Amino acid sequence: MHIKCQNSGIKGKNAEVSQRITFRTRSQLEVMDDGYKWRKYGKKTVKSSPNPRNYYKCSGEGCDVKKRVERDRDDSNYVLTTYDGVHNHQ
């Protein structure tokens, strides 16, 4: 499993710095159990990839964490899971 972590932010008066982390995992499953409950809110075809990208929001009350899941465009044996934000619950 490969992990990539970066801080990202939005510029402006209401800007909040959020954490973004990406996991690259060898798996036949699209979505793996990470201990949280997620609600799927979208699916998109990405220009640079033959595989669709799925979008999820955390179901925890008041939690703003989002994740996106897609197959690696270079090796479809791997799944890229990107989390935006930090959970405010367990």
The pTM (predicted TM-score) of the whole model is 0.78
pLDDT tens digits for range 30-85: 888 999 999 999 999 988 889 999 999 999 999 999 999 999 999 999 999 999 99
Residue 67 contacts residue 84 (beta carbons within 8 Å): yes
Q: Kindly state whether residue 69 falls inside one of the protein's structural domains.
A: yes
DSSP string, 7-57: EEE--STT--EEEEEEEEEE-S-SS---SS-EEEEEEEE-TT-SSEEEEEE
Q: Kindly state whether residue 9 falls inside one of the protein's structural domains.
A: no
Q: Kindly state whether residue 8 falls inside one of the protein's structural domains.
A: no
Q: How many domains does the chain contain in total?
A: 1
Assign residue 56 the CATH number of its domain: 2.20.25.80
Query: Beta-carbon neighbour count of residue 13 at 10 Å?
Result: 4
Q: Kindly state whether residue 48 falls inside one of the protein's structural domains.
A: yes
Q: Kindly state whether residue 58 falls inside one of the protein's structural domains.
A: yes
Residue 53 contacts residue 78 (beta carbons within 8 Å): no
